[in-house]
Structure 1
Amino acid sequence: MVKNDEILSEEEQHFAGAGRVYYFDVVIDSGKGAILTDVDGNEYIDLLASASATNTGHAHPKIVKAIQDQAEKLVHYTAAYFASATEAKLANELVKLAPGNPDDWMVVYGNSGSDANDAVIKFARGYTGRPNVVSFVGAYHGSTYGSISASAVSLNMSRKIGPLLPGFYKVPFPSPEKRLAGESDADFVERMFVAFKEPFENYLPAEETAVIMVEPIQGDGGIMAPPAGYWQKVAEFAHEHGILLAVDEVNQGYGRTGTFWSFEHFGLEPDLIAMGKSMASGMPLSAVLGRREIMQSLEAPANVYTTAGNVVSAAAALATLDVIKSEDLVARSAKLGEVAQKFFNHEKEQFDFIGDVRLYGLNGGIDIVDPQTGLGDEQVTNTIIYNLFKNGVLMISLRGSTLRFQPPLVIEEDDLQRAFTIMHQVFDDFAKGKLSEPNGRHHIGW
């Protein structure tokens, strides 16, 4: 890893560590489909898809051509003052992705999922005239001050940078580990909904709450979701009290879960939808879809950014939608997700250090636990992902002890099976005490 080491050593002189969650000593050079190559020529099967930002894979020819064609014509002119044909066409396509009548929806652009969730907060407050924002423990909504104030997944997202913005409240997320032994879905939903309502009954007036921000399937919180009935109760509570329901689809949208939007799994009808990441196949672009009356509640420059709606990114976004449709990637995610479910269930039966397995399309969280306590084991998780990396499979962890399974939706079945073969071997080697411990510049993970 000569070039890898040289580049990393040079970068470390000037790159602030707060900008990266460190995993492996590798410098990515190129990618094609679901295969990545580092600067030393080593290849990896990508099971991360750039944090679910490249659902269409790496260097998809249709998307590359769309970027090239647009760049030859115009690289940028700010949509803050003037429209472009590409950006305008994208707006018309995005409203078609919303539930119901496209004419009932409007769109606003940003640069990342973080500022999309900031926009959600601004429009919700602007429309309702209310100050308070409710989100869930375990949520990751972004790193700008609004979105980070709504997040609750890592202490390093609040440590030393407070005070965060006022008016933000967190409620418990009904994650699987909170379920009592033998507890039915209905009883679990009811118990967690009681916990959800507790702030509203004691110190948080519902009539002063603007929005409830939801990841229908939590991403960085561990790829997990409650039983569907829970979200229905939350939605009914919101509508009963005039509170807007906003869904964050930045991580879990664009076909990732086997449906285009993750909220489709739960029958939700949101008022606001935040998107980013795979929206433009990794090019910097985000957007919020909102009901027309909500989006008309603010005036410029309440949510203006110089590079939002950039024409090259917009061209990539249009090509992304074309690829998702023409290659039927939503159905492909659902189909290959079933293959992955069978594999991980089989591994769970063989290895007692594999805990809960959660798959939603090509999208999964696999808990690595201490068999004696059933609690997450960060050290073992790091050993596993490090040895996967050394054997040519790129996979990271969530919250220390959950394997993050999010390959590009275009991954070839042969490559997926090859990754599973390597993964099984790594699991088996760990069970036999054969794995090497992680070795690198930094502590692995969050």
Structure 2
Amino acid sequence: MDQHKNNQQLLAEESPAFSKAARVKYYNIVIESGSGAEITDADGRTYIDLLASASATNTGHSHPHIVKAIQDQAAKLIQYTPAYFASAPEAALAPRLTALAPISGDVALAWGNSGSDANDAIIKFARAYTGRQNVVSFTGAYHGSTYGSISVSAVSLNMSRKIGPLLPGVVKVPYPDPWQRLDGESEDAFVDRMFAAFKLPFETYLPAEEVAVILIEPIQGDGGIVKAPDAYIHKVYDFAKANGILFAVDEVNQGMGRTGKWWSIEHFGIEPDLMSVGKSLASGLPLSAVMGRAEIMNSLGSPAHVFTTAGNPVTTAAAAATMDVIEDEHLLDRSAKLGAIAKDYFENAKKKYDFIGDVRMYGLDGGIDIIDSKTGKGDDEATTKLIYRVFELGAIIISLRGNVLRFQPPLVITEEQLNKTFKIFDQAFEELSQGKLSLPDNADEIGW
């Protein structure tokens, strides 16, 4: 029997065989097991998980009900391609999921393997239905890594550097995030200014009648966990409707209960035409879906959007079990309730520490800015010191945009674990304020 290998040994074995393009580097650990809101690495060290596998394990790790569903289905049938035939779990899941879509009337879906291909599908179906080519998306967006989804993304230069030309017909406009807001600018003035920036392409070089779809994250994920102002979303939506443009939302990161509702768009009272779902849909197993008004979803014929393994029996069984857990354990309410507790904690910490800037929390879905108190600008070094110290103290959190703490624990996290997390942050914040923290040796490799 092979001797158990530790983090260092496993990473040394992986390194020569693994592309550096395929992982954003943070900590030198290898995840070996997980339970609920905790993960354990190959060294046997356990951490509170504040990342939830990039919001892909909202129901926590190895939930017994989901594990059983996977095991039972695997014993019956692991795979038969839905490109040709339905399977029992897939056939049952499709109407259950479409019934949850925040869209009136008949709704249909198509399966995929990841949020990336679900966003590709939005482009495909929108172009087919409208007969138009152009797509509008937003700065700060992360929609995925396939060529279509990476073309509509705008969160990292390494998602376009050296891989062009990207998909043609894509125009990006500024997302109304808090870093765009001017000092002393009112909410109304901010919305008006950002909407003017949104309209500028349409007024100068982009004919509205040639735009198929506007794709937006109502609450951006990797762009910093930030909710667009309600009034802005409504202005964009009204503009789309007035010009025959489809309105599509990316719910891959922010859906499946993350924000205290099934879908982040429900915070705005708007019905999208199309939406992408992934990540936590099957508790992290490779399953995604594009959902939309049935007439749009039937504007293409097969095989315009089929995949050999998409919607397979095991992943769809896991998705049904995931939905059971969200419903039976009232995870939407838990997200809202525990998110309010977390928001209070970080707001109070902000009063105590001048390096904490904006605090955004939408359910258990938070972005906390770390700033230079003298300039008010983002402090990437301080952020890296903080997340690394939190890691050393027993919790996993990463940064976004260099200076944003990404707070997305599994929705099953207990109040006891949440309080333990706050004590870890208390220590890390206090040590940073006293100048006791230093950068890790590989700081230049860490982060997006």
Would you say same fold, with TM above 0.5?
Answer: yes
Distance 1:441 1:168 in 2: 34
Q: Identify the match of residue 300 of structure 2 among 271, 286, 298.
A: 298
Distance 1:94 1:358 in 2: 29
Shift of the alpha carbon at 1:179? 1.6
Q: Identify the match of residue 111 of structure 2 among 93, 103, 109.
A: 109
More displaced, 48-57 or 370-379? 370-379
Q: Identify the match of residue 28 of structure 2 among 18, 25, 28.
A: 25
The correspondence of residues 140-155 of structure 1 with structure 2, limited to 5 A, is 140-155=142-157
Q: Identify the match of residue 57 of structure 1 among 57, 60, 66.
A: 60
What does the per-residue CA deviation read over 1:199-247, in whole Å, with 9 as the maximum and x for residues that have no partner?
Answer: 0000011000000001000000000022201100000000000000000
Structure 1: gaps of 5 or more residues: none
Counterpart contact for 2:103–2:293, Cα < 8 Å = no
Shift of the alpha carbon at 1:110? 0.1
Q: Which residue of 1 aligns with 2:339?
A: 337
Distance 2:38 2:351 in 1: 29
What does the per-residue CA deviation read over 1:80-109, in whole Å, with 9 as the maximum and x for residues that have no partner?
Answer: 0011111010101011111254x5100100
Distance 2:419 2:405 in 1: 17
Q: Which residue of 1 aligns with 2:16?
A: 13
Secondary structure, in 3 states, of the residue corresponding to 1:289?
strand
Q: Identify the match of residue 364 of structure 1 among 345, 366, 373.
A: 366
Q: Identify the match of residue 71 of structure 2 among 62, 68, 72.
A: 68
Q: Which residue of 2 aligns with 1:241?
A: 243
Q: Which residue of 1 aligns with 2:178?
A: 176
Secondary structure, in 3 states, of the residue corresponding to 1:13?
helix
Q: Which residue of 1 aligns with 2:90?
A: 87
Q: Identify the match of residue 125 of structure 2 among 114, 123, 126.
A: 123
- Runs of at least 4 residues off by over 4 Å: none
Shift of the alpha carbon at 1:399? 1.2
Counterpart contact for 2:118–2:276, Cα < 8 Å = yes
The correspondence of residues 42-441 of structure 1 with structure 2, limited to 5 A, is 42-101=45-104, 104-440=106-442
Shift of the alpha carbon at 1:66? 0.2
Shift of the alpha carbon at 1:180? 2.0
Shift of the alpha carbon at 1:181? 2.3
Distance 1:332 1:199, change over 3 A: same
What does the per-residue CA deviation read over 1:49-101, in whole Å, with 9 as the maximum and x for residues that have no partner?
Answer: 00000000000000000000000000000000011111010101011111254
Shift of the alpha carbon at 1:183? 2.1
Secondary structure, in 3 states, of the residue corresponding to 2:445?
coil
Shift of the alpha carbon at 1:144? 0.2
CA RMSD, aligned part only?
1.2
Counterpart contact for 1:364–1:404, Cα < 8 Å = yes
Counterpart contact for 2:58–2:256, Cα < 8 Å = yes
Letter in 1 for 2:316: A
Distance 1:13 1:384 in 2: 30
Distance 1:142 1:100 in 2: 24
Shift of the alpha carbon at 1:440? 4.3
Q: TM-score, normalised by structure 2?
A: 0.98
Letter in 1 for 2:143: H
Q: TM-score, normalised by structure 1?
A: 0.98
Distance 2:122 2:14 in 1: 35
More displaced, 430-439 or 351-360? 430-439
Distance 1:418 1:98 in 2: 36
Counterpart contact for 1:25–1:440, Cα < 8 Å = no
Distance 2:252 2:204 in 1: 32
Letter in 2 for 1:68: Q
Distance 2:5 2:347 in 1: 39
The share of aligned pairs that are identical, in percent, is 64
Matched length? 445
Secondary structure, in 3 states, of the residue corresponding to 1:288?
strand
Counterpart contact for 2:370–2:382, Cα < 8 Å = yes
Secondary structure, in 3 states, of the residue corresponding to 1:421?
helix
Distance 2:368 2:103 in 1: 35
Shift of the alpha carbon at 1:10? 0.9
Counterpart contact for 2:87–2:312, Cα < 8 Å = no
Letter in 1 for 2:190: F
Structure 2: gaps of 5 or more residues: none
Shift of the alpha carbon at 1:2? 7.1
What does the per-residue CA deviation read over 1:343-372, in whole Å, with 9 as the maximum and x for residues that have no partner?
Answer: 000111111111111000000000111111
Distance 1:170 1:231, change over 3 A: same
